[in-house]
Structure 1
């Protein structure tokens, strides 16, 4: 098994900096896990290093609370005889603060603030008034200035603007938050219009404007959810997913133990990242259908395995009830692709295995009796039930990529891995370390006697099996890659 107004040039520079960091993507199991079974997630070093720079792009200023701008807001309402509002709700970012602390959250919020302000003169007008609902809040209220034409704002104008802003902010901010949020980024974008009425207190009209925009953001969220479901159904029907394979290597010899199948959605779209793909599948109750497609694609796309090599296929609890993956039909599918049960390693995450323990234990016996091997994924991610894991008699224990990150500098992580490695040897299982990005991590794992590993330092995922020769990484080399396709 991831503030002040700046000019368009600086905006493009920030976007280019973000582009250099590839959006993380996960395999099918982990993607399902992120929505229904959250795990701790590694913070890519490239993003951590660039957060302060991105947060401080331009001259840093604080966005005022709308209450401090009421005089200006009232004036605009009276002068223009109406007032339009664009509402940007980013309260989902509070999860970053909860999981990673206030310092990281403030940097992410500063980046969002930059992006909102950078829209002035691009998606919105330079004279628009950008405020927040509460001091240091993450809900932005953009009071729109009068249009250049005499024609006032109409519903179509506001809806079009809201859609553009939603696409822009989601695309740019996702590149930062994808490493922190345990789900895809959700921004609520609403809009509203209020007419000036001299008989009503202007404060009340402003409150009505904000409340209407908030309700509209909720309506827009439902609209986008239905649209997302329709697009995902189309992807499933067209089988528009790609399969990549990442080698699992012997850390001493670099010989290939096998390949793990990874899934990505349509290239160049929001759905390319399985984070998004499986989040939407969970929300749309399409996890079974998507997982079935991904599993079928992995098996059908597999190349010729060398003798003794394995194909690692991720498993969800629903897989065990899928008629397509049972009995003669399953065996015929494997045979048609020059595969046998003995060449397949079925992976299930530690938490999923424990939460579905009795069902999983009974079902897995059916598969192991046929010759399939089993791997427990994401060991060390925080949901350990070691006694139950031992009773499953797994062939492989895959060490969570968050625990591999910087293991060379963490005594606690090294001791945890030693304990799991000892447990594995006692039950006849082998340990696979995931998410190896740096030479120092690799050398530490070798020193600890860990037999197998995978990660960008060793090999990138590819559409076909690549049988690697021995790779000798240069000492002190650092691979600044986001583990975008690493399965964990």
Structure 2
């Protein structure tokens, strides 16, 4: 036995004794966020089940361990997610879970829930195939409920992996050791589920890249208040009817698998091929991940066959720097962008107000375009704080010569507010939906769009 295992087991034994001896300790072992008991408070229940049935089943639901919710959004948002999952699990008791099953947390302020499964009614003992069915059911229920409850940006950071283990009681082995072991087994099973998921995603992603199963949609950039299309953003989509159709899922998997440069290269290739018939003088906004700026393939774009074969010239292309990951060395990054500027390309910073260190990016990179993230545009007509923030960004743009684009405009009320603020350009469903090859402003909405007051 490892030294740390021995120390942990000793603390379990001492904690079990304390819980039995000091009843006033119990209230300290309930998680303050979820209100759930922690495992030490269930030791008596587990012992009784083992004495009566010689067996107990345990599920470990590992939540957000492999994401960065607390790091990015803070502990309050993390607590909100944990409370939400606790509510979901409690709602499953009597449905997906049996009424006698007990929901708990592994430890106070932790990220793992433990479910103590009551003895089976129709058979003498639990079977592995039974646990597998329960695991799949619980995972699906949690993910579906969280998707419907969390903001989309936050849901993208969510992760849930369910592990299971069966404890067959052995009277010759110390009870606390058996509990410790079964918990370790369930946690290990949870980790293996994550590994299986990662391998499956990696195989799917490699297939998409190898077989070039990516296509491009275009979304118009509209000059305000004239409602004139001045360019299009190229939006990459994976194969339809699957998880990777959504670009956020596609790029998240690419980052996790260290395939971001390969995927970005493919998306760029597809976008340039699809945009070869773009109208003269209209710009093409081409998304570029920070990691791809050093890609030799990107640096050779001005001389690439795709660009030469199309009607595009470098001065029509805007390299839109996404901020899905942080820029580490601004000095080196800026020098590379200057190389592209010298060739005639323009630079845009995407998702201003939502990504990593956006203000520093604006200062350091001196973009030609600044795209305001949709989170600042959503319901701006009723939110004075958002209005003031967008006014400040627009004022900065006018003073520095940076053209400001408001992304994600969905309603005429939002558009009217942005017109009053004086925003230069807009993009969103209020004008058109992404499509191929080059959508126009919707005829059913063009005559109804608000004019600048």
Q: By the TM > 0.5 criterion, same fold?
A: yes
SS in 2 for 1:181: helix
Residues 20-31 of structure 1 mapped to structure 2, 5 A cutoff = none
- CA drift of 1:97 comes to 10
Distance in 2 between residues matched to 1:348 and 1:135, nearest whole Å: 41
- Label 1:94 to 1:63 Cα distance change in 2 as closer, same or farther (>3 A): farther
The TM-score, its normalising length taken from structure 1, stands at: 0.73
| Residue 335, structure 1, aligned to residue 335, structure 2 | no
Partner residue of 1:485? none
Distance in 1 between residues matched to 2:367 and 2:209, nearest whole Å: 32
Distance in 1 between residues matched to 2:301 and 2:162, nearest whole Å: 50
- CA drift of 1:313 comes to 0.4
| Residue 307, structure 1, aligned to residue 277, structure 2 | no
Distance in 1 between residues matched to 2:143 and 2:69, nearest whole Å: 16
Distance in 1 between residues matched to 2:38 and 2:325, nearest whole Å: 44
Partner residue of 1:402? 375
Report which stretch shifted further, 62-71 or 443-452: 62-71
Partner residue of 1:372? 345
| Residue 359, structure 1, aligned to residue 332, structure 2 | yes
| Residue 187, structure 1, aligned to residue 165, structure 2 | no
- Label 1:199 to 1:269 Cα distance change in 2 as closer, same or farther (>3 A): same
SS in 2 for 1:306: coil
| Residue 447, structure 1, aligned to residue 408, structure 2 | no
| Residue 286, structure 1, aligned to residue 280, structure 2 | no
Q: Deviations over 1:458-482 (max 9, x none)?
A: 332224311225725578xxxxxxx
| Residue 421, structure 1, aligned to residue 397, structure 2 | no
- Label 1:221 to 1:350 Cα distance change in 2 as closer, same or farther (>3 A): closer
| Residue 471, structure 1, aligned to residue 452, structure 2 | no
- Label 1:307 to 1:218 Cα distance change in 2 as closer, same or farther (>3 A): same
Distance in 1 between residues matched to 2:297 and 2:124, nearest whole Å: 59
- Label 1:442 to 1:174 Cα distance change in 2 as closer, same or farther (>3 A): same
Distance in 1 between residues matched to 2:98 and 2:142, nearest whole Å: 16
Q: Which has the larger radius of gyration?
A: 2
Partner residue of 1:18? none
Partner residue of 1:208? 181
Partner residue of 1:273? 246
| Residue 222, structure 1, aligned to residue 195, structure 2 | yes
Query: How many aligned positions are there?
Result: 413
Q: Deviations over 1:160-201 (max 9, x none)?
A: 543453344334423434535385321132111111123445
Larger relative contact order (Cα-Cα within 8 Å, sequence gap ≥ 6) = 1
Distance in 1 between residues matched to 2:364 and 2:63, nearest whole Å: 44
Partner residue of 1:479? none
- Label 1:253 to 1:170 Cα distance change in 2 as closer, same or farther (>3 A): same
Contact 1:184 1:279 in 2 (8 A): no
Distance in 2 between residues matched to 1:63 and 1:322, nearest whole Å: 50
Partner residue of 1:39? none
| Residue 462, structure 1, aligned to residue 427, structure 2 | no
CA RMSD between the two structures: 3.5
- CA drift of 1:267 comes to 3.0
Partner residue of 1:383? 357
Contact 2:326 2:357 in 1 (8 A): no
Partner residue of 1:348? 321
Contact 2:276 2:309 in 1 (8 A): no
Partner residue of 1:36? none
SS in 1 for 2:268: helix
Contact 1:303 1:464 in 2 (8 A): no
| Residue 82, structure 1, aligned to residue 17, structure 2 | no
Contact 2:85 2:146 in 1 (8 A): yes
Contact 1:317 1:356 in 2 (8 A): no
Report which stretch shifted further, 286-295 or 315-324: 315-324
Q: Deviations over 1:398-454 (max 9, x none)?
A: 223333334344555444433433332344332111222333332221112111011
State which of 84, 91, 99 in structure 1 corresponds to 2:73.
99
- CA drift of 1:251 comes to 2.8
Which consecutive residues of structure 1, in runs of 5 or more, have no partner in the other structure?
1-60, 476-488
Distance in 1 between residues matched to 2:144 and 2:78, nearest whole Å: 18
Partner residue of 2:89? 116
State which of 130, 133, 139 in structure 1 corresponds to 2:106.
133
Report which stretch shifted further, 447-456 or 466-475: 466-475
Contact 2:131 2:164 in 1 (8 A): yes
Distance in 2 between residues matched to 1:248 and 1:67, nearest whole Å: 58
Contact 2:69 2:158 in 1 (8 A): no
Distance in 1 between residues matched to 2:418 and 2:174, nearest whole Å: 68
Q: Deviations over 1:246-273 (max 9, x none)?
A: 2111231221121112223333333333
SS in 1 for 2:154: coil
| Residue 198, structure 1, aligned to residue 182, structure 2 | no
SS in 1 for 2:446: coil
Q: Deviations over 1:118-148 (max 9, x none)?
A: 5556655454333333468653222223345
Contact 1:434 1:454 in 2 (8 A): yes
- CA drift of 1:156 comes to 4.9
